[in-house]
Every structure is written in C-alpha cells, then in structure tokens.
Amino acid sequence: MKPKEIIIFGSSGQVGSNLIRRLTKNNYKVTAVTRNIHTKGYNIKKSGNAGWIDLVEFKTFEYDKLRELFKNKDICINLIGILNERRKSSFNNIHCLLPKKFAELCKEYKLKQFIHLSALGVDDVKDSKYALSKANGEYEIKKTFENYIILKPSIIFSRDDKFTTMLLSFIKYLPIFPIYYQGKTEFYPIHVTDVCEIIEKVVIKEIKKETIECIGPEKISFKEILLRLQNSLKIKRLLIPMPISIAKMFATMFEILMKNPLLTRDQLNLLKENNVPSGKYKTNVDLKINSNLKYFDNEIAKYSYMWKDGGEFSREKNIKKI
C-alpha cells in the first residue's frame, strides 16, 4: 500500500523534529518545510528515517512555490507559530493569513486532512494580539476547509523548548525571580512526545472536523512550576510578586532593546487568563488518545541536570555508581 504523503510546515521546532522522527519511523513519507535549509536542514534531516523525508525551503508567502508543495499530498500539518512580532512576521500574517492559505490549498488539491496547531485558552483573552490572531486563524480554517483538525495545546515542554529551559537558566543564575499576577495563572503542561502522539493518532484514525484541547495530566500554577524547577535543581530562589505596571514598563523596554524580548506586554495580557480547557471542546483525555501522559516532574528530571554543577555527573544514578 502506498504510504501517506504528509507535508509539515514548522518542521524545525520542538514539535516538528519529534513528529518527523515518529512519522518516518512508522513509514509515513514526510516533506519537511523550513525557512532556511542551510542552517536548519541538517538537524531536520537527522531527525527522520533516511528515505522517508524530503527537505524543502520555503519563505513565508512565496505563494507560487507553495502551490507546488501541495500537489500529490494527503495531509498538511501546520506547526508554525511565533511569540514575538517582527516586520512581516506579524501575528496576523503567521497565525491567520498563512493558515488560511494552507486551508485553501488543502481544499483545492483535495487533501484528506489539515492538522493545525493552535493554542489553548486563546478564545477567552480579549486584549492579546497573539490570542486574537490564533482565534482568527482557527475561524478561517474552519470556514475554508471541512477536513480540519484544530489542536489547542497548553504549554508544550521538553528539553528542546524555550519555556522550561529559559526558566531553568534564570533560576540557576538569578537570586530572585519576579512573578506576575502572584503566580496564580494555571496551566496543563503537556510533553512534546504526547503532542506528537496525538497528531499521529489523528492521522491513523483519520479524525476530521474536530477541535481538540490538548492537556497534560496535571494542573500547575506558574508559581508551582517555578517551585518544581527549583526543587529539581536543589536550589531555592526568592519569588517576588511584581506589580503589573512595573512589569509592563520592563516589557516595553525589552521590546525596544531586544530582538527576542524576555517579556512583552502582550504576554503579560495572556498571563491574566488561566491556560486551561474551556469546556467548549473535547480534550485528548476525553478522547483517550494518549496511552500514557507524561508527568512534569518526571520529565524535567531527565534534563534539568544540565543546569546543575557537574552536569551529567550530578545525576543521582551516577553519584551512586561512583
């Protein structure tokens, strides 16, 4: 039987590289699309099984080239997302207009599925450009192509993320750490391999016309996340609630001075709302998609040693051997 042809946009991120590994291992033919084949091509290639992955370079909004990529494909998976705006890479362009174009091409070339990675909680945040663009993107996809699957994950974490790894670095080197809204914002952190399992199951079961909220096995506040990361490093830091007016002042300064700001005003607006299931859609837990959801502490312990003195040799199993 001819293997399914899958095109993946956003293939160099933490979800993309893990998903390519999983799909090519199970005999799906993957076309991995990246913006810069010279800087990211090698890492993408080595993440997939030889012979089951093709690499294509695509600059955002090269629509003539984009049309060629959709020919003879069965499934399109869009993992592209940004946290900060830059010139043409605005939230609206990346999260709304580009997915809409993908949906139009899925319809034109009669693809079987369009799987789109959005975000949990964006329906309820009214003063965030990020959230608004994500919600508008979902609306445009549903309006354009009937064989859609919208996946709305809470924070995705792994050793390749830009969330826990950044927080571990701050905890390692900073004696104090600011928290916003008293650190009460709640999340359902989900491991990247669980997200990839959801995507693969959606492909296998040929699920269509479904929006799925993707969550991990436990609800954790932002303050609790910081405390757990501290515990993993065996470090204690002072967590200081920061008034939002002061936080916004720092965020404005970061936006002006930094290419990749540590914090933005838009992110502060996002943190006002809990990142939890809305109740409007089924979750991966409701659908019993995942075989064994991974717990936050267990997974963090597998890579937090990189921020400890001694690195690999600081791990308990190595200490016992010595």
Question: What would the DSSP string read from start to end of 257-307?
Answer: H-SS-S--HHHHHHTTS-BS--SSSEETTTTT--SSPPPHHHHHTTTGGGG
Separation of alpha carbons 154 and 121, rounded Å:
8
pLDDT at 34 (0 to 100): 87
Residue 241 has pLDDT above 80, yes or no: yes
- Residue 250: is its pLDDT beyond 80? yes
> Quick one: pLDDT at residue 2?
82
Lowest-pLDDT choice from 43-47, 159-163, 209-213: 43-47
pLDDT of 310: 74
* pTM recorded for the entire structure: 0.93
- What pLDDT sits at residue 316? 59
Residue 94 has pLDDT above 90, yes or no: yes
pLDDT for residue 180 is more than 90: yes
Average pLDDT of the chain to the nearest whole number: 92
For residues 149-154, average pLDDT: 98
- Interval 100-111 mean pLDDT: 97
* Integer Cα distance of 203 and 213 in angstroms: 16
Q: How far is CA 174 from CA 11, 102, 157, 267, in A?
A: 33, 43, 22, 21
Residue 187 β-bridge partners:
220, 275
**pLDDT value of residue 37:** 79
| Token output for 133 | 């663009």
Judge whether residue 46 has pLDDT over 80.
Answer: no
What pLDDT shows up at residue 288?
A: 94
Q: What is the pLDDT of residue 319?
A: 42
| Statement: residue 63 has pLDDT above 80 | no
Question: What pLDDT score does 320 carry?
Answer: 44
Q: What is the pLDDT of residue 314?
A: 63
Q: Which CATH code is given to the segment(s) 5-157+189-217+276-294?
A: 3.40.50.720
- pLDDT score recorded for residue 321: 44
Percentage of the chain with pLDDT > 70? 96
Contacts of 36 (CB under 8 A, 6+ apart): 57
| Beta strand pairing call for 186-187 and 176-179 | unpaired
Per-residue pLDDT band for 313 (boundaries 50, 70, 90) equals low
pLDDT band at 86 (very low <50, low <70, confident <90, very high): confident
Task: Give residue 126's pLDDT.
Answer: 85
Say if residue 71's pLDDT is above 80.
yes
